[in-house]
Structure 1
Amino acid sequence: MDLRQMRYFTTVVQQKNFSKAAQLLHVSQPSLSNAISKLEKEVGFPLLERNTRSLHLTDSGKIMYERALELLNKFDHLTKEMKEVKQTGSGHLSLGLIESAKHWMPKVIHHFKGDFPNIKIQLLELLGVEQVQQSLLNYETHAAITNQMVTHRDLLAYPIYNERLVLLVHFQNELSQRPTITMKDLEREPFIISTSGFQTRKDILHAFDKEQASPNIMYEIERFETACSLVEEGLGVTIIPENYIKYSTFPSIRPRYIQSEALQRTVYLAHSKNRYLPPFIHSFLNHTTNFLKSENS
């Protein structure tokens, strides 16, 4: 039993067809069939139920398939790690981001590129904790900036900064002139909020609940940029992370602070506990934390 047989077997299961699997694997169909038959002889029991129309796993085959996938994933991860071990001054860095980080991240990259000019960087927007965890566990990203605490046993997450959630209003809105604003003051305003599933939405609704107020939700969006554009046109008000509007330019928008302990959040940096990270990635993480310390000091 070897990795080649495992890859053949899992591909056949996924394609549910020997002919399609053979094409993907670039082998002849007879060779693929012989390899699976040999694997079944080695393990001592049938893995697949075959007929003229379909192909199904046996009960024993289901166990073999799950274990084979685990082995192949670990082997693929090992291959990536060994490539990264060789990389010191050149290579590839993949980073997951929340939307509000994309405005300050270029400043971090600018400093980092002074030390590692040849590193290729991929920035991926990750919106939920499940997406963050899967990207790290599957080695799709080296690290992730997230506003949700990651608690998976194989991942490490630590806080890198705290930020307030701020109210955005059009400069002609009478709220822009008020000395103080409460959540109750927003009840009659057309409110713009993230769609269900976003942590920012949960934080904002929690703040309304604490003040026994209810938002008049008129618009649901996925990106802060869209929320800002709606406020810019005078269509409503919104609450977004301070770091997003801090680096953005919307001439008609006025940010206002609401006195509410609930309108704040912690942003974390997360990465795998077990994955080997080349020196240049550790350097990038250090550049990130040092930049944020200087910005928030």
Structure 2
Amino acid sequence: MDLKQLSYFVTIVDQMSFSKAAQILHISQPSLSNAIKNLESELGFQLLERNTRNIGITEAGQILYTRAVHLLLEMDIVKKEMIEVKHIGKGELQIGMIESVKHWIPKVILQYIQEFPDVRIKLTEVLSGADVKNSLRNYETHLIITNQYIQEDDITTIPLYHEKLVLLLHVNHPLVKHESITLKDLTEEAFIISSEGFQTRQDVLNAFDMEGIKPIIKYEIERFETALSLVRENIGVTLIPENYLQGPQDLSIVKRPVDSAGVNRIVYLTFLKNRYVSPAIHAFINKTNAFFN
């Protein structure tokens, strides 16, 4: 049994088709079928149940599939780490981030590329807590800047800074004229909030809970830009991280502070504890941390 055989087997199970798997693997269907028969013969039991219409997987095959997927993923990770060892000072830096960092992260990158001009940088949005964990563990990102507090044995979480959540209103909204706005003033408003699984949603709800009140959740969104679009039409109000609002201002939207100690959040830097990273990647982690601390 070798990695090639395991890769063949996993692909067949994923596709539930010898013909589709053969196309993906760029080998002939008879060759693929013979490889699986040889694997079954070597192991001494049947892995797949074949008939004229479809393919099934035996109990033994399911056990092997689970183990093989894990093993192949580990081998892929090893390959990626070896590439990073090879490309010291070069290669690719993969950064996951939330929306509100878009105004300060270019400043860190500007410092970084002066020292490591040959590193290619890939920026992707990683928003929910589950996505942060999966992205790091699957080696899709080297580090992630997030407002999710990740408490896991294999992940390092460093607080970078606190930021306030500010209220967004349409310019014609009656609350714009108020000198002071509290969360109680918002309990009758059509409230716009992040979807389940997003930490900003929990931060907002915690702030309301601290005062023993609840908002009327009318709209649930994944991206803050969608929340701005709804406020722009004067059909709801929302609380948004202040850093997201840096840059050109929309004249139809008014920003107001809220008189509540709970309307804030923490932004963190996260990365895998035991993953090998090149000095160039480690340098970016240090520069990001130093930018705020």
1:18 is matched with which residue? 18
Summarize the Cα distance change of 1:15–1:174 in structure 2 as closer, same or farther, 3 Å threshold: closer
Superimposed CA distance per residue, residues 63-113 of structure 1 (whole angstroms, 9 cap, x where no aligned partner): 111111111111011001100111122211111111111222122112211
Given that 1:166 and 1:241 are in contact with CA atoms closer than 8 Å, whether structure 2 keeps it comes out as: yes
**2:119 maps to 1:123:** no
Given that 2:204 and 2:239 are in contact with CA atoms closer than 8 Å, whether structure 1 keeps it comes out as: yes
Q: Which runs of 5+ in 2 are unaligned?
A: none
Summarize the Cα distance change of 1:13–1:244 in structure 2 as closer, same or farther, 3 Å threshold: same
2:150 partner amino acid: V
Superimposed CA distance per residue, residues 34-58 of structure 1 (whole angstroms, 9 cap, x where no aligned partner): 2111111221211112222222111
RMSD of aligned alpha carbons:
2.1
Superimposed CA distance per residue, residues 4-47 of structure 1 (whole angstroms, 9 cap, x where no aligned partner): 11111111211222222222212222222221111112212111
1:243 is matched with which residue? 243
1:218 Cα deviation from its structure 2 partner? 4.2
1:164 is matched with which residue? 164
Given that 2:167 and 2:258 are in contact with CA atoms closer than 8 Å, whether structure 1 keeps it comes out as: yes
Alpha-carbon distance between aligned partners in 2 of 1:54 and 1:234, rounded to the nearest angstrom: 54
Summarize the Cα distance change of 1:28–1:232 in structure 2 as closer, same or farther, 3 Å threshold: closer
SS at match of 1:108: helix
**2:100 maps to 1:100:** yes
SS at match of 1:77: helix
Summarize the Cα distance change of 1:266–1:48 in structure 2 as closer, same or farther, 3 Å threshold: same
2:117 partner amino acid: P
Alpha-carbon distance between aligned partners in 2 of 1:84 and 1:240, rounded to the nearest angstrom: 37
Alpha-carbon distance between aligned partners in 1 of 2:266 and 2:279, rounded to the nearest angstrom: 27
2:139 is matched with which residue? 139
1:155 is matched with which residue? 155
1:195 Cα deviation from its structure 2 partner? 3.1
1:260 is matched with which residue? 260
1:190 Cα deviation from its structure 2 partner? 4.0
Given that 2:89 and 2:278 are in contact with CA atoms closer than 8 Å, whether structure 1 keeps it comes out as: no
1:148 Cα deviation from its structure 2 partner? 1.1
Alpha-carbon distance between aligned partners in 2 of 1:92 and 1:250, rounded to the nearest angstrom: 36
Alpha-carbon distance between aligned partners in 2 of 1:63 and 1:233, rounded to the nearest angstrom: 54
Summarize the Cα distance change of 1:19–1:166 in structure 2 as closer, same or farther, 3 Å threshold: same
SS at match of 1:52: coil
Alpha-carbon distance between aligned partners in 2 of 1:223 and 1:4, rounded to the nearest angstrom: 41
Alpha-carbon distance between aligned partners in 2 of 1:21 and 1:282, rounded to the nearest angstrom: 39
Moved more, 219-228 or 57-66: 219-228
1:138 Cα deviation from its structure 2 partner? 0.8
1:273 partner amino acid: K
Given that 1:103 and 1:248 are in contact with CA atoms closer than 8 Å, whether structure 2 keeps it comes out as: no
The TM-score, its normalising length taken from structure 2, stands at: 0.91
The TM-score, its normalising length taken from structure 1, stands at: 0.90
2:71 is matched with which residue? 71
1:273 Cα deviation from its structure 2 partner? 1.6
SS at match of 1:90: coil
Given that 1:228 and 1:250 are in contact with CA atoms closer than 8 Å, whether structure 2 keeps it comes out as: no
Q: Which runs of 5+ in 1 are unaligned?
A: none
1:276 partner amino acid: Y
1:170 Cα deviation from its structure 2 partner? 4.2
SS at match of 1:12: helix
Summarize the Cα distance change of 1:62–1:246 in structure 2 as closer, same or farther, 3 Å threshold: same
2:58 partner amino acid: T
Moved more, 259-268 or 171-180: 171-180
**2:203 maps to 1:203:** yes
